[in-house]
Structure 1
Amino acid sequence: MIDKKLLALLGHNKKYIFYAVGLMIVGLFANLTITASICYAIQYAAEYASSGSNTQGFILPAVIVIIAMAIRYVTSRSIGDLKDTLGRNVKKDLRQKIYDKIIKLGVRTTDNMSMAGLTQLSMEGVEQLDLYYSAYIPQFFYAMIAPIILFIVTVRINWAVALVLLACVPLIPMSIIAVSRYAKKIFAKYWGKYTSMGDSFLDSVQGLKELKIFQADAAQNIKMNETSEEFRKITMKVLVMQLASTTIMDMVAYGGAGLGIALTIHAVVNGSLSAYAALFLILVAVDFFLPLRAFGSAFHIAMNGASAGNKILSLLAQPDPVWGSESIDNIEIKVKDVTFSYDGKRDVLKHASMNFGSTGMCAIVGESGSGKSTVVNLLLGAYHPQQGSILVGNKPLETLSRESYYSHISVVSYNTYIFNETIRQNFMLAKDNVTDEEIYSALKKVNLYDFIIENGGLDKVITEDAANISGGQKQRLALAINLVANKDVYIFDEATSNIDIESEAIIMNNIKELSKEKSVIVISHRLANIIAADTIYYIEDGEVKENGTHNELM
């Protein structure tokens, strides 16, 4: 009933669970003390009414009840505080682990999970898993211990009643186990439908303009309605399953308590049990089943949390890109006889060899799907070839320190992300101590200086997805930010795709200037953009078919 892998994610936070369970047991003893004191007070009241005993006999049970109630209050508050602390720590640690994993994976992050799925996992998924840890697991341990404690207490009063109550207790876990196999499948489908609906919604919002232009919004609305209806149906299945499970547990709990009460009354009638001992057993009979009943309710929350937790485990289990600890001596990059496959079946690159010097421009051209962007992924260390090697300064890429390597390399792609921050703050990501003069110099190189000055200066805020500037301006701004970084190797992965001619010309002029002092690698479909390249590699079906200058290849 407890996933050991999910429990291992807790790390040092496991102690809060044991503290909470310990306090719950203390609270149980406080409840038993209150019940026993009340029964004693009732018994004493009966004796007082018949014989006129001293009223001072009520003082002791009253004091005990007050102390026990105070203990119960303190334990309840402390349990709540512990669960809150556990929840905060778990959410913080899990989100940190997810974030660290995403950072390590880099461009591989969304291989098997959409961005909407990642967002839902790190937000709603973590919230659900928090309930699994703070509500389900403590209740699980308490539900296993409490009936045993109650049995030890009640067996001294009447062994038959205690045995019957204890015998009925396992029926609740048995009903939970019977439901759990079906519940796991339901909750797995539930989470899948939930993320699918989130993906559909995010796609619709991001592509709303295109949907309007192509008058496809009505069709997309129908599709979203269908997705929502599927989610509604799976939600109803979850609710039906929960209701059925709750009904079974209630029948067992109330039936077991009723049977125990019936045996208690029978013992009183036979004269083998006093009325006040019977009252204690009747009041305690319900407590036999309450912990497991609460555990059953938490079980349904846990199933949803466990489903999200398995998704998190799947993400965290993805192998990290392999890196070493060596520093870089020089930045010459060699791709030697590289063969690579994403799925282990189809080779995306086949015995590819390329050389990129410390200065100059090299270009990689080819049709879509030929393997150009795969070369970029390999150069970034996101993947490692199954055959061959990538050398940086005659050192295998995987032996280099990631921080050292990335301090020398920069990438400008067709979808470079500009953060929802000011112009200055975006530049500070590339160089934390950048001066305004350096920013202005970079903006002038990409012909954005006048535009920025006239529209708020360096404090101008770039909105989400750079929606308040044009596509060409966005690419030029991305280039300017990377120019400030002053790296040794610049990779331009389709950086001039889908932008205006003016922006394309400005970017290409900067690339040519950069190549005089830096190593520049250009991925492009447009032959006109790479005429000036020192070496052009033509890739077809993952193979380097030809290489040379533009004149040599033509």
Structure 2
Amino acid sequence: MNLNAEAEAKKQPGPISQILSPIRAKLILASVLAGLGTMLTLVPLAGIAHIASITFGMQGGSISSALAMSQHEIWQTVIISIVSLFIGLAIVTIGELITHLADNHITHHLRIAATKRLSLVPIGWFTSRASGEVKQAMQDDIGTLHELTAHFFTTLGRSIGAILISVIYLFVMDWRLAIVAIIPFPIFFMVLGSAMKASETHMGEFVGGLTKINNAVVEFVNGIPVIKAFGASGKAHKSYSDAVKSFVESFLNFTRPLTGSMANANAIVSPVAVLGIVLIFGTLFVKLGWMTAVDVLPFALVAPGISVPLLLLGFITHGLRNATGSAERVQALLNTPVLEQVNQVAKYRFSSNPEFKVENMSYGYNDQTQVLSNINLDLKPGTVTAVVGSSGAGKSTLARLLLRFFDPTEGRITLDGVDLRQIPTIDLYKNIGFVLQEVRLIHASVRDNIALGRPNATQKEIEDAARAANVHERILELPRGYDSVIGEDAQLSGGEQQRVSIARAVLLDPPILVLDEATAAADAENEVAIQEALSKFAKGRTLLVIAHRLDTIMHSDNIVVVENGSIEEQGTHQQLLDKNSRYANLWRLGGYAAMSEQQEELLQC
């Protein structure tokens, strides 16, 4: 079974092959053209050798008489050389043009494909990843692939073409001196391969040392306040210093066999070294009578030129490793699992107060990690449902499932009797608004952030939403007001960003609102402003509140206690106290704190 799996894996094309499959034929054509063009551009070298042979190889007579006798042949050689040079350059240019056009095509294709894919993946996928991870795949890695498609294949073709035509030409001229002239190149690969093997034995040590440095830096930077407070800077510095010393030793072990061998290998195939070998053995062959002095000239002109394309092959092959990693990440992004689309209802019209139901729902990250089990909930229109429980019980996961950040592994969630998987995303989020603890604002103007769900909203509607969220006056204080850009001239605190997200939900005006600890990260002043905004906005809407403070949800129509991924009990505040079970214990442990007017109004709306 394992052997079959391995065989199937070997049959699978590599990541670069998969990514570049739409333009494979164009890249092959461009590589072949670049190789042929390069071959033609090297014809003048053979022409020079041929003219020298005509001029100096004739027996008897002066140089002038030799030129007179062979003038026609010389001019013919010159013309052929010049024409070959320009035709070769033209063919190489055509090859470069083909690769750049192919690069534009594949870059456009990958960016569009990635954008379409990301529009279909669960929103929860983004919450579990840093924005830099997505940016790397969409921007940096596709940029790396640009270098591959636009330059690698034509460079590969030119290098192989130059080496191939040079070797063929040398063997045509004299196979004995050709063998001697190319001896340095196999030696180059033998020395380089031996050095790489020696370095690979220390690769694990090198990577481990680098990891230790990274960990030491993170530990030191994150612990600076504690280090300063307790005067432990000497110990912290020693930890970092030890990691650096350990890495230096690992680095030297890794590079020591490589640097010396690389220097020796490069010296072996340097043009000067190759020319020296050609001249030494060429002189010997002339003395032995195997060839004339003028016959050595083609080898002196062509053989040293093999060094440059050979070293260039090594350089671009090294770059291919980076491109392989980039292709793997881009391919992984394009293969990201998407939300299931089941018999979608096009432009379904929901009632003004749709009913939200959760039926026998379970959810797990994988087979071993079950987060929620057999959840049943009925959110009646216009009611307030509060979800409470200890940390890690699954409350936030439940909220995100209701928002379809991801889909349940079992059961279903319905809106007016329609499974969420059947509702187009644009229609779903017209009916469900949310204000979460983690605020997500995009790099755009404040106006665009508020109007994200309704891009056609008027300025008055946007300002009215901002007023309802108690953030209008703060926006006017920004350098460019509503035109200020988040992260540039709009520097907002966490609580202010939360109010912008509330304004976004207000403008969307959904009948259902999900609140997940919307004030958890706000200071006292912002919490009052947020609670006041939410209390006005929540009136008449179906409300689901995820809360840790029980005093803020005691007037809810239904309180759901979640523990270990299951609903342990539910009912009104008084009903649950009378049961004297989990909720009652939580209430006694937490105590009752006086609610603000805004908090009480929010739960009584």
Range of TM-score over shorter length: 0.7 to 0.9
Residue from 2, 5, 10 that aligns with 2:20: 10
Deviation, 1:460, is 5.1
Query: Is the Cα contact below 8 Å between 2:362 and 2:374 reproduced in 1?
Result: yes
Question: 1:348-369 deviations in whole A, cap 9, x for unaligned?
Answer: 1122222223443222211211
Q: Find out whether 1:546 has 2:569 as its counterpart.
A: yes
Residue from 373, 377, 384 that aligns with 2:407: 384
Greater Cα shift, 170-179 or 125-134: 170-179
Q: Tell me the SS of whatever aligns to 2:496.
A: helix
Residue from 77, 83, 86 that aligns with 1:67: 83
Q: Find out whether 1:53 has 2:67 as its counterpart.
A: yes
Query: How many equivalent pairs are there?
Result: 551
Correspondence for 2:471: 448
Question: 1:517-539 deviations in whole A, cap 9, x for unaligned?
Answer: 43322211122332332222111
Q: Find out whether 1:394 has 2:417 as its counterpart.
A: yes
Q: Distance in 2 between matches of 1:427 and 1:494?
A: 20
Quick one: which amino acid aligns to residue 323 of structure 1?
Answer: Q
Q: Find out whether 1:346 has 2:339 as its counterpart.
A: no
Q: Distance in 2 between matches of 1:551 and 1:464?
A: 46
Q: Find out whether 1:157 has 2:180 as its counterpart.
A: no
Greater Cα shift, 42-51 or 169-178: 169-178
Query: Is the Cα contact below 8 Å between 1:187 and 1:303 reproduced in 2?
Result: no
Quick one: which amino acid aligns to residue 495 of structure 2?
Answer: G
Quick one: which amino acid aligns to residue 473 of structure 1?
Answer: E
Q: Tell me the SS of whatever aligns to 2:373.
A: strand
What pairs with 1:197-236 in structure 2 (closer than 5 Å)?
Answer: none
Quick one: which amino acid aligns to residue 283 of structure 1?
Answer: L
Deviation, 1:220, is 12
Q: Find out whether 1:313 has 2:336 as its counterpart.
A: no
Q: Find out whether 1:435 has 2:445 as its counterpart.
A: no
What pairs with 1:73-472 in structure 2 (closer than 5 Å)?
Answer: 73-74=89-90, 93-94=109-110, 97-103=113-119, 104-109=121-126, 111=128, 113-140=129-156, 143=159, 147-162=163-178, 243=259, 246-247=262-263, 249-250=265-266, 253=269, 267-288=285-306, 290-327=308-345, 328=348, 330=350, 331-455=354-478, 458-459=481-482, 461-464=484-487, 468-472=491-495
Structure 2 gaps, min length 5: 1-11, 578-605
Greater Cα shift, 424-433 or 281-290: 281-290
Deviation, 1:34, is 0.6
Q: Tell me the SS of whatever aligns to 1:430.
A: coil
Greater Cα shift, 313-322 or 168-177: 168-177
Quick one: which amino acid aligns to residue 83 of structure 2?
Answer: I
Residue from 539, 559, 583 that aligns with 1:536: 559
Greater Cα shift, 272-281 or 435-444: 272-281
Deviation, 1:423, is 2.6
Q: Distance in 2 between matches of 1:179 and 1:86?
A: 37
The structure-2 alpha-carbon separation of the partners of 1:497 and 1:411, relative to structure 1 and needing over 3 Å to count, comes to same
The structure-2 alpha-carbon separation of the partners of 1:141 and 1:453, relative to structure 1 and needing over 3 Å to count, comes to closer
The structure-2 alpha-carbon separation of the partners of 1:239 and 1:89, relative to structure 1 and needing over 3 Å to count, comes to farther
Query: Is the Cα contact below 8 Å between 1:102 and 1:109 reproduced in 2?
Result: no
Question: 1:491-535 deviations in whole A, cap 9, x for unaligned?
Answer: 212111122445434444554554444332221112233233222
The structure-2 alpha-carbon separation of the partners of 1:170 and 1:37, relative to structure 1 and needing over 3 Å to count, comes to same
Greater Cα shift, 238-247 or 431-440: 238-247
Quick one: which amino acid aligns to residue 375 of structure 1?
Answer: L
Greater Cα shift, 11-20 or 288-297: 11-20
Residue from 24, 38, 42 that aligns with 2:48: 38
Q: Distance in 2 between matches of 1:220 and 1:429?
A: 50
Deviation, 1:299, is 2.0
Greater Cα shift, 475-484 or 17-26: 17-26
The structure-2 alpha-carbon separation of the partners of 1:522 and 1:224, relative to structure 1 and needing over 3 Å to count, comes to farther
Q: Tell me the SS of whatever aligns to 1:109.
A: helix
The structure-2 alpha-carbon separation of the partners of 1:69 and 1:63, relative to structure 1 and needing over 3 Å to count, comes to same
Percent identity over the alignment is 20
Quick one: which amino acid aligns to residue 6 of structure 1?
Answer: I
Q: Distance in 2 between matches of 1:262 and 1:284?
A: 16
Q: Distance in 1 between matches of 2:477 and 2:449?
A: 18
Query: Is the Cα contact below 8 Å between 2:124 and 2:400 reproduced in 1?
Result: yes
The structure-2 alpha-carbon separation of the partners of 1:511 and 1:362, relative to structure 1 and needing over 3 Å to count, comes to farther
How well do the aligned residues superpose, as a CA RMSD in angstroms? 4.6
Deviation, 1:89, is 5.6
Deviation, 1:441, is 1.7
The structure-2 alpha-carbon separation of the partners of 1:348 and 1:187, relative to structure 1 and needing over 3 Å to count, comes to same
Deviation, 1:228, is 8.4
Q: Distance in 2 between matches of 1:97 and 1:404?
A: 23
Q: Distance in 2 between matches of 1:11 and 1:159?
A: 41
Quick one: which amino acid aligns to residue 486 of structure 1?
Answer: D
Greater Cα shift, 483-492 or 231-240: 231-240
Q: Distance in 1 between matches of 2:241 and 2:177?
A: 56
Q: Distance in 2 between matches of 1:344 and 1:156?
A: 67
Q: Distance in 2 between matches of 1:211 and 1:91?
A: 47
Quick one: which amino acid aligns to residue 7 of structure 1?
Answer: S
The structure-2 alpha-carbon separation of the partners of 1:303 and 1:69, relative to structure 1 and needing over 3 Å to count, comes to same
The structure-2 alpha-carbon separation of the partners of 1:23 and 1:185, relative to structure 1 and needing over 3 Å to count, comes to farther
Correspondence for 1:477: 500
Q: Distance in 2 between matches of 1:40 and 1:510?
A: 90
Question: 1:162-214 deviations in whole A, cap 9, x for unaligned?
Answer: 566678766766777777787799599879969x969978996xx89988997
Q: Distance in 2 between matches of 1:351 and 1:392?
A: 18
The structure-2 alpha-carbon separation of the partners of 1:134 and 1:192, relative to structure 1 and needing over 3 Å to count, comes to farther
Q: Distance in 2 between matches of 1:183 and 1:86?
A: 36
The structure-2 alpha-carbon separation of the partners of 1:149 and 1:38, relative to structure 1 and needing over 3 Å to count, comes to closer
Deviation, 1:484, is 0.4
Q: Tell me the SS of whatever aligns to 1:544.
A: strand
Greater Cα shift, 357-366 or 84-93: 84-93
The structure-2 alpha-carbon separation of the partners of 1:434 and 1:79, relative to structure 1 and needing over 3 Å to count, comes to same
Query: Is the Cα contact below 8 Å between 2:382 and 2:540 reproduced in 1?
Result: yes
Q: Distance in 2 between matches of 1:521 and 1:157?
A: 86
Question: 1:295-340 deviations in whole A, cap 9, x for unaligned?
Answer: 1122222223323433443444332232335124544332222222
How does the TM-score come out when normalised to structure 1?
Answer: 0.80
Q: Distance in 2 between matches of 1:23 and 1:38?
A: 24
The structure-2 alpha-carbon separation of the partners of 1:149 and 1:399, relative to structure 1 and needing over 3 Å to count, comes to farther
Structure 1 gaps, min length 5: none
Which one has the largest radius of gyration?
Answer: 2
